Amino acid sequence: MENPDRSFYSDHKFCADCNKYVSYLMSLDNSYCVECGGAVRLFSKADWESFQTELNERRAKGGRPGKRNQRGKESA
Ligand SMILES: [Zn+2]
């Protein structure tokens, strides 16, 4: 199922003070809620955790194992 609100997240960030997704202002380092002026984050805590979980699951399933030293043939 596609999430119809996907683009919503690129225009909104989560304000912990307002406890909702809000429009935000971007500055160099941070983004700020247009409603209360507080710093906003990309996801709410719950969304962030589910995002992390999803990421870890995806990594565990399809992720490539690090094969850094596998082809370490020294030529001298
Ligand atoms: Zn706010």
What is the value of pTM for the model shown? 0.55
Query: What pLDDT, on the 0 to 100 scale, is given for residue 42?
Result: 84
Query: What pLDDT, on the 0 to 100 scale, is given for residue 63?
Result: 58
How many whole angstroms from 54 Cα to the centroid of ligand 1?
27
CA dist 32 and 22 (Å) reads 9
| Predicted confidence (pLDDT) per residue in 11-65, tens digit | 899 999 999 999 999 888 889 999 999 999 888 888 889 989 999 999 998 756 6
How many whole angstroms from 28 Cα to the centroid of ligand 1?
18
How many whole angstroms from 48 Cα to the centroid of ligand 1?
18
How many whole angstroms from 52 Cα to the centroid of ligand 1?
24
Query: What pLDDT, on the 0 to 100 scale, is given for residue 48?
Result: 87
Q: Burial level of 45, CB count in 10 A (0-12/13-18/19+)?
A: exposed
- Model confidence at 9, in pLDDT bands (50, 70, 90)? low
Residue 9 gets which letter from DSSP? H
